[in-house]
Amino acid sequence: MNLLPNIIRGLTLNHIGEYFSSMKVKTSITLSEDLLRAIDRQQAGYNSRSEFIEAAARSFLVRLERKKTEQRDLEIINRNADKLNAEAEDVLAYQVSL
């Protein structure tokens, strides 16, 4: 039994991913009045509050992921700091004084 809707049968995986990622789920959120007014003032270029809030949420999630990656990178650097500093000192020992 094929569980995929007729519309996506025969499409590539990329097309299927786009189909499912574009599906929307209606939800309800509660926002403070001042935040809602600020959204309404800033939503130029967006078709709706929902589109604006979705874009803002995606942007925030990207920032969170970037922050997590940067934190992980910093932990790796800190774990290897002594070795990295020793290598830097070794390289500097080969430089000619000017």
**Per-residue pLDDT at 8 exceeds 90:** no
**Per-residue pLDDT at 21 exceeds 90:** no
Instruction: State the Cα–Cα distance between residues 53 and 31, nearest whole angstrom.
Output: 11
Looking at the whole model, is its pTM more than 0.85? no
The four Cα atoms 44, 35, 68, 78 give a dihedral, to 10 degrees, of 110
